[in-house]
Amino acid sequence: MNTVLGHTYRDGEIIVNEGEVGSCMYAIQRGRVQVWKKGREGELPVGELGTGEIFGEMAVFEQEVRSATVRALGEAVVMTVDRRSFLRRIQDDPSIAFQLVRMMSARIRRLSSEVAQLKREAGFPESRL
């Protein structure tokens, strides 16, 4: 039996909007979503996520505005996880925190590589951290 706890979003339906204050994160139970950022020339797609991945996790740690818009790419089933539920799950299974940090680290590494590539293409000198 395959139990679905999340909400089903239709193709193109917005799950979160860039600029809104967030208080929860999301886990993709089935399907794909596309992440968009506002730019000078309108919205730009910056990534895709699929089944088993999470997004909006920064809102669990800090109540800041959403840094991107996320839309369903085809039909997607997405579960909402609030701060209290997340902290309870970490208490029950601390390895979840390690998995989240590992995922966030991989995202930071990928973004750092993309920024470095863009700087090289634009002719900026190499910089040190």
Report the pLDDT value the prediction gives residue 1, as an integer from 0 to 100. 43
Amino acid 122: pLDDT: 86
Which structure tokens are listed for 58? 């920064």
d(CA 52, CA 54): 7
CB 11 within 8 A of CB 72: yes
Please report the pLDDT score of residue 2 as a whole number.
52
Give the model's pLDDT for residue 5: 74
For 104-123, what is each residue's pLDDT tens digit?
A: 888 889 888 888 888 888 88
- The three-point CA angle 67-38-21 to 5° equals 30
Q: Which residues of the chain have pLDDT under 50?
A: 1
Name the residue with tokens 């029950």: 92
Task: Give the pLDDT confidence score for residue 25 in this predicted structure.
Answer: 94
